[in-house]
């Protein structure tokens, strides 16, 4: 088979993956705390033919850690993370991490996410407030006060840059390495009464989406032309009756 056909097919596979990723980013532009996903591709060289042929690799995806814009809500149970850190919530197999700080308090006073996951303190345990204690005050370090008395603290965690983070449920991520509770709140912290939006750049993602669609169409055309060329060659060079 012609190398050009393999090249165009590998290109289509890579473009399909990038298209799916970009479309997901666009669909979540308004999702609070959403982290955009970026896909990188590498060149693979093959020497199975007379000369070197370059193919597109399968690609690797990474979740962006760039912060999104914050919006003021004035809700006492809303918090936005400041700096490269994450809020911790209880997952089925351990702590998950999120930038979505829209919290609620259930009838028992437990602090939860909008989907019901328990928010954890720096030690990974659940946080219980006083249901009759009134609106809490949350400090930059996550400390929670009701009636001027500290009743708990929201855990803020850093994830090692070498760790691989992947999407989990409830707009959260899981990490290949455990997060570390923040101790120094000089550059990292929380802001009460704010939420962080998605870190998706709408103009860039829409432009990228259009470019990918055009490139996919071009690769599809190249594949069709390669197939036609191969078919014509078979007809021309095939056995003569």
Which residue is it, tokens 């970009």? 22
pLDDT, tens only, 88-104? 999 998 999 999 999 99
Q: How far is 151 from 134, CA to CA, in rounded Å?
A: 12
pLDDT tens-digit readout, 121-151: 999 999 999 999 989 999 999 999 999 999 9
Q: What is the pLDDT of residues 5-21, one digit of tens each?
A: 555 566 667 777 788 88
**pLDDT tens per residue, range 186-196:** 999 999 999 99
Query: pLDDT grade, residue 239 (50/70/90)?
Result: low
Query: Would you state the pLDDT for residue 45?
Result: 39
Could you give the CA distance from residue 168 to residue 93 in angstroms, rounded to a whole number? 11
pLDDT at residue 226 is higher than 90: no
User: Which segment of 42-46, 52-56, 109-113 scores lowest on mean pLDDT?
Assistant: 42-46
Domain spans in the chain, listed from the N-terminal domain onward: 3-65+200-237, 70-196
Bridge partners, 180 (sequence order): 158
The confidence score (pLDDT) of residue 18 equals: 81
Is 204 a residue whose pLDDT tops 60? Answer: yes
Q: At what angle do helices 3-27 and 202-237 cross, to 10 degrees?
A: 160
- State pTM to two decimals: 0.77
How does 31-53 read in b/e, with b if 16+ C-beta sit within 10 Å?
Answer: ebbbbbbeeebeeeeeeeeeeeb
Q: What is the pLDDT of residue 219?
A: 65
Instruction: Give the chain's end-to-end CA distance (angstroms, integer).
Output: 24
211 pLDDT band (50/70/90 cuts)? confident
Q: Average pLDDT over the chain, rounded to whole?
A: 84
Task: Taking residues 57-79, report their average pLDDT.
Answer: 88
């Amino acid at each position: 088979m012609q190398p050009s056909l393999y090249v165009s097919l590998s290109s289509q596979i890579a473009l399909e993956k990038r298209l799916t990723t970009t479309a997901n980013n666009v669909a979540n532009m308004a999702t609070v705390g959403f982290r955009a996903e970026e896909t990188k591709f590498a060149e693979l060289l093959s020497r199975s033919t007379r000369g070197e042929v370059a193919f597109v690799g399968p690609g690797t995806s990474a979740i962006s850690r760039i912060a999104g814009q914050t919006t003021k809500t004035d809700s006492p149970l809303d918090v936005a993370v400041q700096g490269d850190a994450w809020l911790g919530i209880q997952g089925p197999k351990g702590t998950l991490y999120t930038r979505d700080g829209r919290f609620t308090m259930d009838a028992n006073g437990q602090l939860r996410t909008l989907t019901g996951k328990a928010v954890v303190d720096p030690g990974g345990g659940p946080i219980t407030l006083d249901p009759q204690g009134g609106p809490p005050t949350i400090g930059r370090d996550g400390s929670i006060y009701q009636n001027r008395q500290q009743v708990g603290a929201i855990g803020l965690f850093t994830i090692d840059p070498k760790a691989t983070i992947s999407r989990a449920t409830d707009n959260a991520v899981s990490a290949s390495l455990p997060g570390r509770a923040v101790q120094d709140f000089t550059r990292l912290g929380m802001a009460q009464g704010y939420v962080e939006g998605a870190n998706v750049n709408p103009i860039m993602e829409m432009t990228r989406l259009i470019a990918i669609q055009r490139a996919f169409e071009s690769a599809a055309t190249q594949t069709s032309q390669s197939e036609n060329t191969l078919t014509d060659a078979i007809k021309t060079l095939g056995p003569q009756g």
